[in-house]
Structure 1
Amino acid sequence: MAHQPSNSIRRRLLAAAGAVAILGGGAAGLSAYQTAPALAEQVTVPRTEQSTAINGFADVVERVSPAVVSVRVKSNRQLTSDSRNGFNFQFRGMPGFEQLPEDHPFRRFFREFGGEGDDARPNRNRRAERDRPRRERPSGQGSGFFISEDGYVVTNNHVVENGSSYTVVLNDGTEMDGTLVGTDPRTDLAVLKVDTEGRKVAYATFADDSAVRVGDWVLAIGNPFGLGGSVTAGIVSARGRDIGAGPYDDFIQIDAPVNRGNSGGPAFNTAGQVIGINTAIFSPSGGNVGIAFAIPATAAERIISDLIDDGSIERGWLGVQIAPVSDDIAEAVGLDVAEGALVQQPTDDSPGAKAGIEAGDIIVAINGEKVEGPRELSRTIAGFDPDSEINVSVFRNGDTKDVKVKLGLMPKPDRMAMGLGDDRDGGDEPVLESSFLDDLGLTVTPVEDGKGVVITDVEPGSDAEEKGLSAGDIILKVNGQTVSTAKDVVAATDKATKDGRKAVLMQVRTNDAQRFVALPVSQG
């Protein structure tokens, strides 16, 4: 009897916790298939069902699952067993593998993903494989989801990349041929279209991801390892993640288990709305470790709409190489707060260069809206249409000035690489002797064409060494002032000291790339 009150309290607490886990309210954001000629309606999850602890997420999953599909891709490229689907299973040779029955799932996975059978014989004739006629072969698989009753499917660009044909598999096993509508490699999004033949398929809708909070429940549904519709649950772990995937990184991090094959699948909230599109995982092993990244719904929805309308994305282009503003850089130029985007170099003939934006400028606002850093600037500029006229506020030589720019069209990724070249003319002027700059820990000598000074030695343990400067780097400017001799560097450094600066900002060229380095200066 003494334990009954405790068990009763425990049961009530568990029931309350379960109810909280599936609360969410609102529309499920999913359309049900209807035989009537009327338009499909979005299914709602009644609040009474959402608060039923015994069902967990089952009610939501039951409603949203029909909108989630598997995407199979074939390619005309010749693929080896190791490259197919990005998998490289190493079951053969594992203890006990040879004793597994022929119908064991491990053997089936190994055959399907390129580890066993004719395509995996170690002594196969590689030349014969190379010379055989090209034919369509499975090259990838992933996940996706319907966003309209007439058959538009969203997935990842890397799922469909290099594909020649596409098959969309519904959760009931129905297979439909897909046509590629458009892709956006920069955000890793793609849209397929299937002919539904009059069938009104279930479809998901996007949530307003600005309301998503860290700690919210999230459901990931997809096709991991080709297993078909699988559901995992977790929480939103973080917002605004930059994983180095591109200039528009702003991922939602989730801990719902996501594996290969989940790419392109939706991450749902408990109201059955898509808050993000699963696109990447962090994993030292290649499998799930509880860190996955989803493209936010709001950003994806706009891009998807453009792909459906035009088949491609046209973004505004400013044409400047940018970098973050560190505390040292802010101190060196006299900026009160370390924010904005530092222009390392404008691209030749770009809209920014033509408008007068210079290397060393710090872009602090666009049309009066503050720029926090490079990522915010990239996303802001990309949000404008080409030929838009904008006002760029730059901090230069201690003052803020406005520059009017007419944006261009963002070049395709393969045209973005920019070589600065070597414009030295190899003149006849003799090379002058090196000079040691004690305050900076550098030894420099003039460049032959008079455009800068080249570093010939860096003092071990100095701030210059810590900042990554090395022999062969060329200092072009110091605090915005062009330098051609060691005296120019000293003069610019002395001026910074008199002005109360604790650092100087150097524009440095290393091979064909330019960057900015802030070096502390003596206050003596």
Structure 2
Amino acid sequence: MRRHTAFTVSSVVLALAVATACGIEGRADAGPPPQAPTSKETGKQLWHDSTGQPPVNVSVPSQSSLAPLIKQLKPAVVNISSTTVMKNPHRGLRMPNGGGGGDDDENQQLFEKFFGQREMPEELKGTSLGSGFIINDDGYVLTNNHVVKDATDIKVRLSDGREFEAKIVGRDPASDVALIKLQQLKGKLPTVALGDSDALDQGDFVLAIGSPLGFRESVTFGIVSAKDRSLTGGAFDDFLQTDAAINQGNSGGPLFNMKGEVVGINTAIISPQIGSGIGFAVPINMAKQLVPQLLTGKVSRGYLGVAVSELTPDLVQGFGLKEGTKGALVQSVVPKAPADKAGVKPGDVVVAVNGKPVDSPSLLTRTVSSVQPGGKATLTVLRGNEKKDLTITVAQRPDEEALARGELGGGEEGEGGPAAQKPGANDKLGIRIAPVPPQVASELNVQPDQGVLVVAVNPNGPAGSAGVRKNDVILEVNRQPVNKVEQVVGLIQKMKPGQVVVLRVQRGQQASYLPVKLGGEKK
């Protein structure tokens, strides 16, 4: 598909311009992949999983050539062309009659050259190209959402020259996966087997088949460069990275392993202006999780109602956890949400869901999202030195736009009221604190007897370097709630320079834990 998009990768310092090949968005990874559902029309399985052996009549390639494998796989890979028709926002505008010749005549000629008339057209048409692959002989095809998004007309061409119209069955923008179905089938359709993307290792050989830049049935070969890649910082980013060449038009096409099994859906590339040989594919196990819901036309995801962050080594030290502990730190809990009802608390560290280890916030989100709304999930959390299992009834995840509208943390700093300097912890933290004035407590989103107000920050001091800002409210010190300056001073004075203190800080509507390595002279 012909589309260029720039993305900012929030998890790294370097900003990467990503040109989708053509599009974006992860993996819900909880438990074994689902069994293939059956087609309503014929009762056949929607796809067939690999048996662990090469598909029938498919030769595992020798060291000399991939040709035998490609010959068997290529027929099931399709070229997708879509047309999008939209209302022209400038429809009805006319080229004014200049009557003066010169520039007016030239403008009129230019206007008519592009639009073939003096009046702007009612509708604008756009076309795009992409790829896909047939997963069963009822005509179901997997591709990228951005290949068929908003399409009013979809045509699918097979390698044997047959062409079919297709209809969208279901699509999921968050993961960039779509399911379409060929119409008015004639003759038997070739299909491919779906493999296990979780079984891939870095360095495994893979090959991509598709229609890059309109060149049909092109094949490229490479390796799995990495797994679990995030591109946009989105909740469901979980891409396979490959150096098999992927270009515009490869979008939606299959990434195969050497057994001839589909292990990914080719989706995106790093802009050639930035680098080459860096392509990305949606893991096929994620698509397997989604297909049963795509059949219904709607994807629903599980939701806990927590804000989570990385558990950094400083936080591990500050919370007194065992060195090397992995998990997702709960920064805040949405009132009356499933996590709140189950007893999850800010400061808990989620280390497993349904017995499966969780080592990052994104993995927690993807794992929970794969649980159907109304289903049960068991969260294993660390609360101090105690491990707890909490059973949660998962709710339906709100749409991403609604979640974004609710993410109001990190708001602008306001002007604080007058406050006297308080001695004590300043040298170790590099801040001045004061009681929260009752008249501004509501503006700071705290209760009058909750927390202490940061009225000044040394930007180069320990707290400033850790992200503490003026007008933040410190709610906790090392998990102990505070509402008096003397409490903070007393807790900090007990600690030595170089130790890590964990502050829970309220800013806007978001509360977060920040690890601060204490300053001051070591004795």
Pick the TM interval, shorter chain: 0.7 to 0.9
Corresponding position of 1:272: 260
Match of 2:39 in 1: none
> In the alignment, which residue of structure 2 is the partner of 1:179?
167
Contact 1:431 1:446 in 2 (8 A): no
Q: Secondary structure at the match of 1:210?
A: helix
Preserved contact between residue 150 and residue 196 of structure 1 (Cα < 8 Å): no
Question: In the TM superposition, what is the alpha-carbon distance from 1:417 to its structure 2 partner?
Answer: 2.3
Q: Is the 1:340–1:362 Cα contact (8 Å) retained in structure 2? A: yes
Which one-letter code corresponds to 1:517 in the other structure?
L
In the aligned structure 1, how far is the partner of 2:189 from the partner of 2:366?
34
Q: 1:505-520 alignment to 2 at 5 Å?
A: 505-520=502-517
Residue 316 of structure 1 aligns with an amino acid whose one-letter code is G
1:145 aligns with 2:133: yes
CA distance in 1, matches of 2:119, 2:318: 59
In the aligned structure 1, how far is the partner of 2:114 from the partner of 2:76? 44
- The CA deviation at 1:418 is 4.5
Q: Which residue of 1 aligns with 2:308?
A: 322
Give the aligned residue type for 1:441. Answer: G
Superposition map of 1:226-265 within 5 A: 226-265=214-253
Alignment of 1:421-440 (within 5 A): 432-435=419-422, 437-440=426-429
Per-residue CA distance 1:84-132 (angstroms, 9 max, x = gap): xxxxxxxxxxxxxxxxxxxxxxxxxxxxxxxxxx9x9699899x99963
Which residue is 1:492 aligned to?
Answer: 491
- Provide the TM-score with structure 2 as the length reference: 0.75
Q: Is contact 1:189–1:300 with CA below 8 Å preserved after alignment?
A: yes
Distance 1:457 1:131, change over 3 A: farther
Q: How far, CA to CA, are the matches of 1:219 and 1:399 in structure 2?
A: 47
Q: How far apart, in 2, do the equivalents of 1:215 and 1:368 lie?
A: 29
Contact 1:151 1:196 in 2 (8 A): no
Unaligned runs of 5+ in 1: 1-38, 81-117, 423-428
Q: Does 1:407 align with 2:394?
A: yes
Contact 1:224 1:260 in 2 (8 A): yes
Amino acid in the other structure paired with 1:491: G
Aligned-pair identity (%): 35
Q: Provide the secondary structure at the position in 2 that maps to 1:417.
A: helix
The answer to whether residue 334 in structure 2 is matched with residue 313 in structure 1 is no
* 1:380-428 deviation per Cα after TM superposition (whole angstroms, max 9, x unaligned): 2122221122332322344333333211112222222253779xxxxxx
CA contact (8 A) 2:131 2:252 kept: yes
Per the TM alignment, residue 168 of structure 1 is displaced from its structure 2 partner at its CA by 1.4
Q: 1:473 matched to which residue of 2?
A: 472
2:262 maps to amino acid = V
Q: Secondary structure at the match of 1:248?
A: coil
Aligned partner (choices 31, 55, 62) of residue 51 of structure 1: 62
Q: 3-state SS of the aligned residue for 1:416?
A: helix
Q: Deviations over 1:466-486 (max 9, x none)?
A: 222232333222222333332
Provide the C-alpha distance between the structure 1 equivalents of 2:147 and 2:136, rounded to a whole number of angstroms.
20
Code of the residue aligned with 2:457 in structure 1: it is V
- In the superposition, relative to structure 1, how do residues 76 and 368 fare at CA in structure 2: closer, same or farther (>3 Å)? same
Counterpart Cα distance in 2 of 1:210 and 1:397: 33
Instruction: Please state if 1:70 is matched with 2:56.
Output: no
CA contact (8 A) 1:43 1:63 kept: no
Deviations 1:223-254 (A, max 9, x none): 21223221111122122223345223332211
Alpha-carbon distance between aligned partners in 2 of 1:440 and 1:459, rounded to the nearest angstrom = 9
| Structural mapping, 1:278-357, within 5 Å | 278-283=266-271, 285=273, 289-308=276-295, 310-336=296-322, 337-357=324-344
Give matches, 1:204-219, under 5 Å.
204-219=192-207
Q: Is the Cα–Cα contact under 8 Å of residues 57 and 270 in structure 1 kept in the other structure?
A: no
2:180 — aligned with what? 192
Structure 1 residues 260 and 446, CA gap change in structure 2 (3 angstroms): farther
- Against the structure 1 CA distance between its residues 193 and 395, is the aligned structure 2 distance closer, same or farther, given a 3 Å change threshold? same
The aligned runs of 1:74-153 (5 Å cut-off) are 74-77=83-86, 132-134=121-123, 137-153=125-141
Q: Within 2, Cα distance between the matches of 1:123 and 1:507?
A: 64
Higher helix proportion: 1
Aligned residues: 432
Structure 1 residues 508 and 284: CA distance shift in structure 2, 3 A: farther
For 2:382, the equivalent position in structure 1 comes to 395
* Partners of 1:279 and 1:293 within 8 A in 2: yes
Shift in CA distance, 447/284, structure 1 to aligned 2, threshold 3 Å: farther
Q: Deviations over 1:28-47 (max 9, x none)?
A: xxxxxxxxxxx999642246
- In structure 1, what residue type is equivalent to 2:211? N
The 5 Å alignment of 1:10-49 reads 43-46=56-59
Does residue 443 (structure 1) correspond to residue 432 (structure 2)? The answer is: yes
The residue that corresponds to 2:211 in the other structure is: 223
Query: Which secondary structure state, in structure 1, belongs to the residue aligned with residue 404 of structure 2?
Result: coil
Moved more, 256-265 or 67-76: 67-76
* Partner deviation per Cα, 1:253-295 (whole Å, 9 max, x = no partner): 1101111111111111222211111111122527x71011111
Q: CA deviation at 1:58?
A: 1.6
In structure 2, what is the Cα distance between the partners aligned to 1:218 and 1:386?
Answer: 35
Distance in 2 (alpha carbons) for counterparts of 1:374 and 1:480: 20
Inter-CA distance 453–131: structure 2 relative to 1 (3 Å threshold): farther
- Letter of the 2:121 partner, please give it: R
Give 1:513's aligned amino acid. Q
Find the residue that maps to 2:201 and give its secondary structure: coil
Q: Distance in 2 between matches of 1:453 and 1:511?
A: 15
| Counterpart AA for 1:45 | V
Asked whether the equivalents of residues 187 and 246 of structure 1 are also in contact (C-alpha less than 8 Å), the reply is no
Which secondary structure state, in structure 2, belongs to the residue aligned with residue 438 of structure 1?
helix
Indicate whether 1:417 and 2:404 are aligned: yes
**Given that residues 59 and 68 in structure 2 are in contact (C-alpha distance below 8 angstroms), is that contact kept between their aligned partners in structure 1?**
no
Structure-2 change in CA distance of 1:430 and 1:324 (3 Å) = closer
The letter for the 1-side match of 2:57 is T
In 1, distance between residues paired with 2:82 and 2:185? Answer: 21
Q: Distance in 2 between matches of 1:350 and 1:51?
A: 55
Shift of 1:357: 1.7
Does structure 2 conserve the Cα–Cα contact (< 8 Å) formed by 1:319 and 1:351?
Answer: yes
Query: Are residues 348 and 284 of structure 1, via their aligned partners in 2, closer, same or farther at CA, if it must alter by over 3 Å?
Result: farther
- For residues 420 and 279 of structure 1, do their structure 2 counterparts lie closer, same or farther at Cα, with a shift above 3 Å needed? closer
Taking only aligned residues, the RMSD between alpha carbons, in angstroms, comes to 3.2
Q: TM-score, normalised by structure 1?
A: 0.74
1:138/1:173 CA distance change after superposition, 3 Å: farther
Q: SS at 2:86's partner residue? A: coil
1:459 aligns with 2:458: yes
CA distance in 1, matches of 2:335, 2:192: 44
